[in-house]
Homo-oligomer: A and B are copies of this chain.
C-alpha cells in the first residue's frame, strides 16, 4: 500500500448572505441570529481551503495537479458563489440557511461529485478570521 499525502488549495470568494429560518417568527429569527438576520443582508470574504488526500502519482510527484484543482474550484464554487447573494442568487441556499456549516457541506458535495473516488476530500471555510468550519469533521 502506498503512502498518502494531503494537498491543500486556498481560494476565496465574496458574498452577501442572511441567516433566517422561514418556519420561525421574525422575533425568534432576530433573537437567534441577531445581527446576522438583517433582512437587507450583510457579507463576507470567504476563504476556502480544499484538502485532497491520496497517493502521489510516481510519474509526477503530484496527488492532484493544483492547476486542475484550482480550475475545478473556480468552475463549481467560485462561478456559483463569488460576488453573489447566497440567499437570492443561488439554488443551493434558496431554502437552506447559509451558515458556514451549511456552505461547507454544499461545497463538499459539489466537489465530491467531480473528484476521483480514490481521493479523500475535506473542506475548511473561513467566514471571518475568527470563525471557521471544517467538513467532514
Which of A's residues lie within 8 Å of B, judged by CB?
3-12, 14-17, 19, 21, 23-24, 32-36, 38, 40-45, 53-54, 56, 59-63, 65-67, 82-85, 88-89, 96-102, 104-105, 120, 128-137
Is the CB–CB distance between A38 and B89 below 8 Å? yes
Is the CB–CB distance between B5 and A44 below 8 Å? no
Instruction: State how many copies of this chain the complex holds.
Output: 6
Q: How far is the CA of A19 from the CA of B83 in the complex (A)?
A: 11
Is the CB–CB distance between B9 and A89 below 8 Å? no
Contacts of A7 in B (CB 8 A): 100-101, 131-133
Is the CB–CB distance between A105 and B5 below 8 Å? yes
Nearest Cβ on chain B to A119's Cβ, whole angstroms:
11
Nearest Cβ on chain B to A135's Cβ, whole angstroms:
5
Contacts of A97 in B (CB 8 A): 60-61
Known: A10-B129, A16-B42, A83-B36. A62 touches B101 (CB 8 A): yes
Closest residue to A70 on the B side, CB-wise? B130
Closest residue to A47 on the B side, CB-wise? B129
Q: Which of B9, B32, B35 contacts A60 (CB 8 A)?
A: B32
Is the CB–CB distance between A137 and B6 below 8 Å? yes
